[in-house]
Amino acid sequence: MKIGPAWWGAVARRAVGGGGFPPADHFNPPGAVRRYVGAAREGVVLRYAAFDALPLGISRAANATDTQRQVRAGQQHGGRLKGSPVPRTRGLTAMNMHIHSENMVQTIGALEQYIQRPIPDAKVIRHLAKKHPMRITHYYLDLIDWDDPKDPIRKIAIPSLGEQKRSGTFDTSGEHVHTKFRGFQHKYRQTALILTTNRCAVYCRHCFRKRLVGLVDNEVVVDWDEVVAYLGAHREVTNVLLSGGDPLILATDHLEDILGRLARIPHLRYVRIGSRIPVVLPDRILDDDPLHEAFKAFASGGKQLYVTTQFNHPRELTTTSIRSVKRLQEDGVIVNNQTVLLKGVNDCPSVMAELQAALARAGVIPYYVFQCRPVTTVMDEFQVPLHDACQLIDEARKQLDGLSKRFRFVMSHLTGKIEILGWSDGGIYAKYHQTNRPSLHNKLFHKRLGKDVGWLDLGG
Ligand code: SF4
């Protein structure tokens, strides 16, 4: 079937004309991803059921209408991924409606329009957002106090001039070295990590995968048969971390399929989903009954499902985000949190303490606080020196009860995951928490450092 204006026009008329969505099979034309027509505006406006299906590098500046760009998107990313039984034929859910461009801001112009005020240095910011895309949900934008130029949520979401500094690297923990095949990493013996998408609801400016989020998809898994075969042959792998990008931006039937495949691997004990969706788009969780059916089905198979969130500031713990966490917990999901220590966001002991206490109060396990990695465009803008970081963590812990200070302060280093125990004798005391090098297992060490150093030079 040729997808032309007449086809889409007909679908649009059906949708707008009160007939609801077209039948499911209309969402699966050859060469197109699932989509639906929400309204007719200058022809057809397409909304995507799942943003993971959007093409890479669509330039808003490109000389094309939204319709043309998005039709092209569907044609480029159509079809089924190898080994993926995801047919993308199920009807759309309320959840999917949250994940479309009308609920997100992706250009500086749209941002200025949404907040009804100009963005300072808009020309440079626009240029930076072309290098590392900007995407922010309306929900998350509404948490920002625009009268405060140092608002912490603004710093997480809006590109800033600091991104012009280019120190650091784009792969700070050796992800390429540990990639076994496209989208699949095996660094630590018991844990496999899968890059399920390069898309997120919000592109955090501090992201350590800036090399790929919103940009290229050449590190995203394509062959799920290969994943299952590898896991089946590696009985030492007891758990899988679904990462990205944000896996919860995937269409629900895609997630359901992934979980179904993993559920059938007998030696896996649990699966983790790393996601900021509860933080930046909680309605995606609250409004999607099929998602909860999928999670409950996975739990009923005897394996544990975890969602690892990333709350970085107490203001992110809104009533709605906490409701989304509770909803996950009702499904039998254990929710834990990994905060990233970020300059200008949470580098204050009372803010860090308030955050960890609020997480514990919400029933979220404070799992890790991560030292910000020396990522290009991130390091200078967000990294706190280790000396200051250790003092800050110590001060925050003083303000916390036992459950609230369960977190470990760690860094994901090339050599492994290192727990930073504290600063003394002119440097840090640290201990290997995870590593694939036998000589480093549980190794306790001291490293003398300058007070302005933010990362450990331990060799590769
Ligand atoms: S949601 Fe996660 S993967 Fe996506 S940009 Fe933020 S930190 Fe990076």
Give the model confidence (pLDDT) of 3-25 as tens digits. Answer: 333 333 333 333 333 322 222 22
Q: Check residue 45 and give its pLDDT.
A: 23
Q: Check residue 288 and give its pLDDT.
A: 94
- Where do the domains of the chain lie? 5-79, 104-164, 179-448
Compute the distance from residue 203 Cα to the ligand 1 centre, in Å.
6
Share of residues in the chain with pLDDT > 70 (%): 78
Q: Check residue 166 and give its pLDDT.
A: 85
Give the model confidence (pLDDT) of 120-150 as tens digits. Answer: 999 999 999 999 999 999 999 999 999 999 9
Give the model confidence (pLDDT) of 284-331 as tens digits. Answer: 999 899 999 999 999 999 999 999 999 999 999 999 999 999 999 999
Give the model confidence (pLDDT) of 72-127 as tens digits. Answer: 333 333 334 455 544 333 334 444 556 666 789 999 999 999 999 999 999 999 99
CA dist list (Å): 158 to 206, 268, 372, 377: 10, 39, 18, 13
Q: Give the separation between CA 89 and CA 25, rounded to whole angstroms.
A: 6
Q: Which atom of ligand 1 is nearest to the CA of 201?
A: 1
Q: Check residue 5 and give its pLDDT.
A: 38
When pLDDT is averaged across residues 380-392 and rounded to a whole number, the result is 98
Q: Does pLDDT of 2 surpass 70?
A: no
Q: Which atom of ligand 1 is nearest to the CA of 280?
A: 1
When pLDDT is averaged across residues 263-292 and rounded to a whole number, the result is 96
Q: Give the separation between CA 182 and CA 303, rounded to whole angstroms.
A: 26
Q: Check residue 39 and give its pLDDT.
A: 26
Give the model confidence (pLDDT) of 204-229 as tens digits. Answer: 999 999 999 999 999 999 999 999 99
Q: Does pLDDT of 460 surpass 70?
A: no
Q: Check residue 232 and give its pLDDT.
A: 97
By most ligand atoms within 8 Å of CB, the mutation choice from 140, 200, 210 for ligand 1 is 200
Cis peptide before 459 (omega within 30 of 0): no
Are 100 and 135 a contacting pair, CB within 8 Å? no
Q: Which of 7-21, 285-299, 369-383, 433-447 has the lowest mean pLDDT?
A: 7-21
Our answer on whether the CB atom of 244 is closer than 6 Å to any ligand 1 atom is yes
Q: Which atom of ligand 1 is nearest to the CA of 244?
A: 3
- Alpha-carbon 357 to chain mean position: 23
Tell me which residue of 202, 212, 129 sits closest to 170, measured CA to CA. 212
When pLDDT is averaged across residues 346-358 and rounded to a whole number, the result is 98
Q: Check residue 100 and give its pLDDT.
A: 65
Q: Which atom of ligand 1 is nearest to the CA of 208?
A: 8
Q: Does pLDDT of 427 surpass 90?
A: yes
Domain spanning 179-448, CATH architecture: Alpha-Beta Barrel (3.20)
Q: Check residue 97 and give its pLDDT.
A: 55
Q: Give the separation between CA 138 and CA 105, rounded to whole angstroms.
A: 7
Are 188 and 237 a contacting pair, CB within 8 Å? no
Compute the distance from residue 373 Cα to the ligand 1 centre, in Å.
14
Quickly state the pLDDT bin for 458 (edges 50, 70, 90).
confident
Q: Check residue 82 and give its pLDDT.
A: 53
Compute the distance from residue 201 Cα to the ligand 1 centre, in Å.
8
Task: Write the residue with the smallest CA distance to atom 8 of ligand 1.
Answer: 207
Give the model confidence (pLDDT) of 408-425 as tens digits. Answer: 999 999 999 999 999 999
Q: Does pLDDT of 252 surpass 60?
A: yes
